[in-house]
Amino acid sequence: MEILNQKLNYNYDALADVLYIYVVNFSEGEEAIELNPNMYLTIDEEAIPSAIEILDASKILETTKFSLKRIQKIHLKISINKNDIRVNCSLKIPVHNNELLKSTNDTIINDLNLPELEAKLVMT
C-alpha cells in the first residue's frame, strides 16, 4: 500500500519537550510502537501510521525549544516491509536568520507483522 499527499500538522509542548506530529483528520491511534526510547509511531486500527511522538525533542533534534515552536516544514517517510519498520522525519526549522534541516532516522524489526506500506507525508 502507498500513502501519498497526506497533510501533517504538529504540536510542540516546550515544558515537556515533546513534539507530536500527526496526520490531519486522522483516526485515533490504536497502538503506539516504540521506535527508540524517545520516539513512538502511532498506527490506527487498519495499521496505517497516524502520528509520531518525539520525547526530549530539543535534545534528539539538537536544536532549541524556541525553534521547535516554529517548524516551517516537515517531511515524514514511513516504510514498512515484512522485515522492518523505517521512519525518517526531517524538519526545516528557523535558527536566527537561517533555516536548518534536522532529521531523525529509526529502524526496528517488524515483529508485529504489519502489512507492507510506503507513506510520504508532508507539512508545508
- Residue 85 CB neighbours (<10 A): 22
Task: Tell which wins on pLDDT, 12 or 31.
Answer: 12
In the block, residue with C-alpha cell 507539512: 123
Instruction: Note the pLDDT of residue 47.
Output: 85
Instruction: Note the pLDDT of residue 69.
Output: 94
pLDDT exceeds 90 at position 24: no
β partners of residue 99 = 94
Mean pLDDT of 17-37: 86
Parallel/antiparallel/unpaired status of strands 39-43 and 84-95: unpaired
Instruction: Note the pLDDT of residue 118.
Output: 92
- On whether the CB atoms of residues 84 and 110 are closer than 8 A, the answer is yes
Mean pLDDT of 90-104: 89
Residue 15 banded pLDDT, cuts 50, 70, 90 = very high
> Which segments of 1-124 does DSSP mark as H helices, in order?
57-60, 65-68
> Which segments of 2-80 does DSSP mark as H helices, in order?
57-60, 65-68
pLDDT exceeds 90 at position 46: no
